[in-house]
Structure 1
Amino acid sequence: MKAAVGDRLVIESLHLDGPRRTGVITALHHSDGSPPYVVRWLDEEHETLIFPGPDAHVEPRREHGEHRGKEAARPAAR
């Protein structure tokens, strides 16, 4: 799995009719776009560091109406 800042991380529910979680990736810890990611969840007002599992997928920023900029490749400051 590879992602960039601004992409959305979607985690599907493991239960039938369960809610899906969607968040915006706000920081990367690796310049190659591999996990973990810092994600701001759209349904809550906090960020978490996450190592996505097999129930997750990335929606590139351009798929939800935005455009990637050069800042997308910057890794998170430590």
Structure 2
Amino acid sequence: MRANVGDQILVHSRAVGIPEQTGEIVEVRGADGAPPYVVRFDDGHESLVFPGPDCVVRPH
């Protein structure tokens, strides 16, 4: 997985009734766009994300 600052990340829910999370990548800590990413989610919190198979990166 590769991403750039400003790209969106979508984290699919693994349980029924729990909404998907979306956020903006604000920092790329890996080499050449590789994870981990610092993500600012739509609810305002920031987190260090190591994306798994339930994540999709949408280019800016």
Corresponding position: 1:7 with 2:1: no
> Comparing both structures, which one devotes a greater share of its residues to helix?
1
Q: Spell out, residue by residue over 1:15-68, the C-alpha distance to the aligned partner (whole angstroms, 9 max, x if none).
A: 2343100000000112410100000001x222111101110010101xxxxxxx
Kindly name which structure, 1 or 2, has the bigger radius of gyration based on alpha carbons: 1
> Could you list the runs of 4 or more consecutive aligned residues of structure 1 that deviate by over 3 angstroms after TM superposition?
none
The number of residues matched between the two structures is: 60
Identity percentage of aligned residues: 47
* TM-score normalised according to structure 2 size: 0.90
CA root-mean-square deviation: 1.1
Q: Unpaired segments of 5 or more residues in structure 2?
A: none
> Comparing both structures, which one devotes a greater share of its residues to strand?
2
* TM-score normalised according to structure 1 size: 0.71
